[in-house]
Structure 1
Amino acid sequence: MKFVFFANTDWYLYNFRLATALRLKADGHEVVMLSPPGPFGARFAASGLRWITLSMDRASLGPVREARTLFALISALRRERPDLLHNFTLKCAIYGALAARVVRVPAVVNAVAGMGYVFTSNRTKARVLRPLVSWLLRLSLDRPRSLLILQNPDDATAFAAARLVPADRVRVIRSSGVDVRRFTPVASDSPVHGRLRVLLAARLLWEKGVQEYVDAAALLRREGRSVEFLLAGTPDPGNPRSVEEAQVKRWGREGLVRCLGHVEDMPALLREVEVMVLPSYYREGVPRSLIEAAACGLAIITTDRPGCREVVTHHGVDGLHVAVRDARALADRIAQLDDDRVLLARLGARARQRALSEFDEQLVIQRTVDVYRELLRPAPSATRPTVRPMP
């Protein structure tokens, strides 16, 4: 049986979906990775996976360019003839589902992590695009042998309320999972002493709370606290709400935060800090940085917002909640952990327990494979496409 995984970056497929592809390959299936060109795609060959490229600009709105992208995708699917197409991110879900309808791909899974810029921003561009994107979603998701995977119940409720997809075609799988054997806590039974080190790791979008994080660092420095603030991630030119590179460099020169850029070895970085901060008011799916931090036994400070609340479920139990857009409240939460190292250790231990029970990559992969099996069961009617069942 052949699967095609389609995403808007090779980086996403390599970092978030490689393990699922390798599980399918181990089960005897063929998996093809499909994305725009990028530096990570060449790595698939080392894992025995084929990668094909598609010219696509995720920020483009030009009708001619977008039509070319859709036709190129249709051509690629005609050549590959997959049994199942799995689309990741909103734009790929729309284009992939439409192309699959033309090519008559037997089964389609669409995975959308968070509501994204179009549905969450109040900027004019987003408001103008929202009705068109909603119409395209209804058109592309309305087919019998397709399912939509969302990462949190809030998004499932929102999609159903907006009538973007029938509720019975939605499956909630919390996150893309984390390798809990690679992301592990520092071996120590004693509370952390010395200078507290905190980290924000994310795409550098304003809605991730980056400004509030830097402002909290400035507040605590003025108050004489010796807390080290690290910032990992790079600007995202494909998103209109990206922080500019020049601004990141200014923060670094001012010494408010230590800017690390893209970090290849996240487990090593997470073992060097005690707290993960994500004061996000972005409509998250389930933030990868939070589940990686939880697996490493870090104390987590985040907002009580969709996606984030899937990781920190109860304030003071498995992490701390902070109000959105409130640098003073964020500074106070960090100071609380700086003063109470017993609480710091307890929150980290509970976060690790939650990662093991809810976000283990192997659990997430199995839940995803179960969705594939649900779709690939023999069709009950001869009028529907015939698909080979998964073993």
Structure 2
Amino acid sequence: MSEATRTHTSVSEVGQAARIGRTFCGPKRVVFVVNNDRSFLSHRATWGAALQAAGASVTVIAEDTGEADAICRLGFGFVAVRVGREASGVLAMTRSATQILVALLRLRPNLVFLSATVAFTLGWPAAVMLRGATFVRVVGGVGRALDPSVLTTRASRVVQLSGRVAGRLGNVFTLFQTEHDRETFARLGLLPARERSLIIPGTGIDVNAWQIDEVRDFGNPVILFASRLYREKGVYEFVRIAEKLRGRGWRFQVAGDPDVGVESAVTTEELEAWRRDGAVEFLGHRKDMARVLSEATLFVFPTRHPEGTPKVLIEAGACGLPSVVSGHPGCSAVIEHGVTGIVLGAEPTVAELATAVDELASDAAKAGAMGAAARERVATTFLLDTVLTRLLEWNAVGAVRS
């Protein structure tokens, strides 16, 4: 899930990751380069815990947005660097790349995870100087910079050039969440050696950490959208769905805050106008997403953002929620159409989305059956145990069974 809506991986997931890690003997010094501390806690803390339990000292290089102490309390080192975004200015990107390089040369890691586009765009030069270390580009979706509509922009050209150079280095590997993203990298020349890549469907989740204690009342619909709030994620469509279906007595909720720094982020004025209109309840940033999801009856995620397997969809499924989603490859990899939810086209209209929401919100039995199927699918496809075992057994990571 987006760090805007869920900052911390659950304690039980971190504990389970450590138990899995203790069955391996891994590299001694591991570094994660991520855009900010929240992103590490929401998406990579379990990986860090598993590698730490396998014998590694783990350090995180990221921007400190106020959660660095939480990372340190997990036993990880922390180096504050403003990593920024792939669309940052040249001077800012150069400064960040230099700081990352200096930190990595000082830490001398055996294994480096460059998590997300900006991290592997700025972090790869260290792979030239640290030839004995393995660098893993973690592609949780190809991101805005590699969207077909922007491939000729300056920011995209920088990402493509750095990706092509890094891909040719023998100590650089790439981890994907979907085959679609691997094919995109190959088509753009960013993955010249497919044998140095692996597909793992997501970060991994402990379904027991998302257990529902009470019986969900599908007869009183609570329809939820949760994400960082910018246009490509589908929040504008969600608000229009709520307005279109106003008067049904259903509740529509949005969890998350605007993503400051993204050009298409929802503005303060827009949020205030939506609040005054009253069609949607805005919950803001929430750390108790298990509770928020457990109180909902339907999840809606009409994203157009080029992401991998959205963790929020996996978490919603673990909570027993059916979903209505766009036909983005990452969403289709999580939601099975007609079984665990409804998958529409790549860019569904508001009318199409409203019809799908109406179909499930109006049929409690159907929504309940799909929700149960969603939890079962998560339990068989996206388990933390499965993901971490595949990760640790990958030759790029260099861990062996202890």
Q: Shared fold by TM > 0.5? A: yes
Residues 86 and 117 in structure 2, CA contact (< 8 A), matched pair in contact too: no
Q: Which residue of the partner structure matches residue 224 of structure 2? A: 199
Q: CA deviation at 1:105?
A: 4.8
3-state secondary structure, aligned to 2:209: coil
Following TM superposition, by how much is the alpha carbon of 1:134 offset from its aligned partner in structure 2, in angstroms? 1.0
The corresponding residue for 2:88 is 61
Following the alignment from structure 2 to structure 1, what is the Cα–Cα distance between the partners of residues 40 and 268? 25
1:115 aligns with 2:137: no
> Of the two, which has the highest radius of gyration?
1
How big is the shift at 1:237? Answer: 1.7
**Structure 2: how far apart are the matches of 1:3 and 1:390?**
18
Q: Matched residue of 1:8: which SS?
A: strand
Map residues 141-156 of structure 1 onto 2, 5 A cutoff: 141-156=167-182
Partners of 1:24 and 1:130 in 2: how far apart? Answer: 33
CA contact (8 A) 1:74 1:103 kept: no
Taking a change above 3 Å as real, the CA distance of residues 51 and 277 of structure 1, as seen in their structure-2 partners, is same
Alpha-carbon contact 1:138-1:163 (below 8 Å) kept: yes
Q: 1:295 offset after TM fit, Å?
A: 0.4
Instruction: Provide the residue aligned with 1:162 in structure 2.
Output: 188
Correspondence for 1:18: 45
Q: Which amino acid in structure 2 is aligned with residue 192 of structure 1?
A: D
Q: How does 1:42-191 map to 2 (within 5 A)?
A: 42-58=69-85, 61-120=88-147, 122=149, 127-166=153-192, 167-188=194-215
Q: Is the CA contact 2:35–2:82 (under 8 Å) kept in the aligned structure 1? A: no
Q: Which residue of 2 aligns with 1:384?
A: none
Measured at CA, do residues 249 and 121 of structure 1 come closer, stay the same or move farther in structure 2, by a change above 3 Å? farther
- Kindly state the Cα deviation for residue 100 of structure 1 after the two structures are TM-superposed: 2.5
**Which deviates more, 246-255 or 82-91?**
246-255
With the length of structure 2 as denominator, give the TM-score of the two structures: 0.88
Distance 1:212 1:193 in 2: 23
Instruction: Flag the 1:201–1:376 CA change in 2: closer, same or farther, 3 A.
Output: closer
CA distance in 1, matches of 2:378, 2:288: 19
* Aligned 8 A contact 2:393 2:400 in 1: no
Secondary structure class of the residue paired with 2:252:
strand
The TM-score normalised by the length of structure 1 is 0.90
Q: Distance in 1 between matches of 2:131 and 2:267?
A: 42
Q: Which has the higher contact order (CA 8 A, sep 6+)?
A: 2
Residues 26-54 of structure 1, C-alpha deviation per residue, up to 9 Å, x if partnerless? 22221111111221111122222111111
Give percent identity, aligned residues only: 29
Deviations 1:101-151 (A, max 9, x none): 23435211110111211122636x973432332111101222112210111
> Do 1:217 and 1:256's aligned partners in 2 also have CA atoms closer than 8 Å?
yes
Pairing 1:252-267 to 2, within 5 Å after superposition: 252-267=275-290
Give, as a single letter, the amino acid of the residue that structure 1 aligns with 2:227.
Answer: A
SS at match of 1:181: helix
Aligned positions, number = 373
Structure 2: gaps (5+ residues): 1-27
- What SS does structure 1 have at the residue aligned with 2:35? coil
Structure 1 position 60, deviation (Å) = 5.6
Gaps of at least 5 residues in structure 1 are: 378-387
**AA partner of residue 122 (structure 2):** Y
**Structure 1 CA distance for aligned equivalents of residues 168 and 135 of structure 2:** 11
